[in-house]
Amino acid sequence: MIEDHSSRFHDAIFPDMYGNKFNIREKIWKMTEHFPLPIHRATQTYFDWLTGKPYDNQASPLQSNPWLELGLGFIEFFAGIIVWLWIDATVKDIPLILISWFLTISGIVQFREIAHHCAHNRFSESKPLNDFVGNLISIIVQITEFEEFQNYHNATHHSPEKLATIDQDPENLIYITEELGFVLGKSKSFYWHHLRQTVFSPRFHVRTLINRFKPNKKASVIQPRVISLLSYSLILMGMSYLTSWAFFAFWFVPIQVSFQVIALLQLLSEHVWGYEAHHNESPKSLLLGKCMSRFLGSVPPTEHFLEAPFSWFNWLLENVGYFMTRKLVLCLNLPVHSYHHAFPKNKNWVNETYDLQKFIDGGCQNWPRCFSEVWGLWTAIDVVFESLSSSSEDEVE
């Protein structure tokens, strides 16, 4: 039974080796507070983005907007393709290949989350424009057809009572427990082992890819996926003209496989899927139990760089991993997906990390408490696995 997960990761405050408690974001802030002010501000603005959590009472120094984020997605996506074609025309350089993969996948992940906000009519004030951008992205990325996703997502996934329940949120929880095989009531070690197996399973990747391209038989209009299949066929023919089939496959297959792994990790860490609702639990309490904020970062060394170079090198290496996770898994406002569920009509979604911090600084007014926080993608997945391990079908119906 999962009574309350907040004791597991409340407030992101953990004891150090001496038993003292500290806040990760506070330590990162203090790391540069004695630097010249412009450097301190620039560094902390970067860590606002990297961690997904601004420091206390900090306003956003830079305001993004949906069009800027969409443009960034297109730049990354096509830059990855251009780099790949340049590699094929010149030298097969492994670092450049990795850069091409990274840029293309980053653009795809960016598109996917933008489509999600189009489904909420939050990309633009114009619903036709939201629908157009959402459908365009679903064609490019090959995700669930936009209209189908929009209807289910808004009516079911954003209902506190229906969210993360077997009988009313089947496209998520049944998919996780039955199709993916993360059966309720198993041990955490079973789930971690099964996750490793799934990531490297050809069956998982082939089935997922087929489902992404499979047309929806219930549709009554021209299928977006039919259009997408035709578009991809033209792209394949064009790319085969510009590069060899073998080299193209070496670009296309890793990107598709990586995207499906990324989508899996994002889904598994998105909500406390095994949360057990109490009788007559309020909608706000349900959201607090089923949602969590996912931040990235670790405490920097307290010693001077010259005194502990290896500690600093290890910390910087960790931050490279956090950067990759932020770009490829928890992009845009995904670290504060909890806040999105609390305020799904918030139009300022591109700057929502600051909105959540303002909400916290204001004492989370009119809510029983603030959202629980976890630091690290693997920690978030571990919390979800703990909830699945402690649950049964009867508890999450």
Residue 301 resides in a domain = yes
Residue range 59-72: mean pLDDT, rounded: 91
CA 377 to CA 95: how far, in whole Å? 25
User: Are 144 and 208 within 8 A, CB to CB?
Assistant: no
265 domain residue, yes or no: yes
Lowest mean pLDDT segment, chosen from 41-45, 202-206, 263-267, 280-284 = 280-284
Is pLDDT at 62 greater than 90 in this prediction?
no
Residue 222 has pLDDT above 60, yes or no: no
Query: Do residues 228 and 236 touch, judged by C-beta distance below 8 A?
Result: no
In a domain, 97, yes or no: no
Per the domain annotation, does 103 fall within a domain? no
What's the pLDDT at 92?
74
**Contact (CB, 8 A) for 152 and 146:** no
Angle between helices 309-328 and 94-119 (to 10 degrees): 50
Q: Is residue 396 in a domain?
A: no
Q: By percentage, how much of the chain surpasses pLDDT 70?
A: 84
Angle among Cα 292, 297, 303 to the nearest 5 degrees reads 145
- Looking up tokens 């950067």, which residue turns up? 323
43-57, 132-146, 167-181, 272-286, range with greatest mean pLDDT? 43-57
What confidence score (pLDDT) does residue 13 get? Answer: 53
Do the beta carbons of residue 378 and residue 295 sit within 8 Å?
Answer: no
In a domain, 14, yes or no: yes
pLDDT digits (tens, 9 = 90+) for 29-59: 999 999 999 999 999 999 999 999 999 888 8
Its domain, for residue 213, covers: 6-64+160-221+241-389
Q: Is residue 272 part of a domain?
A: yes
308-to-46, 92, 300, 371 alpha-carbon distances in Å: 24, 38, 11, 35
Q: List the single range of 209-213, 245-249, 392-396 with lowest mean pLDDT.
A: 392-396
Please give the Cα distance from 142 to 227 (Å, whole number).
11
Instruction: Look at residue 9 and tell me whether its pLDDT is greater than 80.
Output: no
Residues 6+ apart with CB under 8 A from 215: 223, 225, 226
pTM attached to this predicted model = 0.88
34 found inside a domain: yes
Domain count, the chain: 1
Cα–Cα distance measured from residue 322 to residue 376, given in angstroms and rounded to the nearest whole number: 8
Residue-wise pLDDT for 306-347, tens only, equals 888 999 999 999 999 999 999 999 999 999 999 999 999 999
Q: Write the DSSP symbol of residue 243.
A: S
Report for 13-22, 77-86, 326-335: range of highest mean pLDDT: 326-335
pLDDT given for residue 278 in this prediction? 82
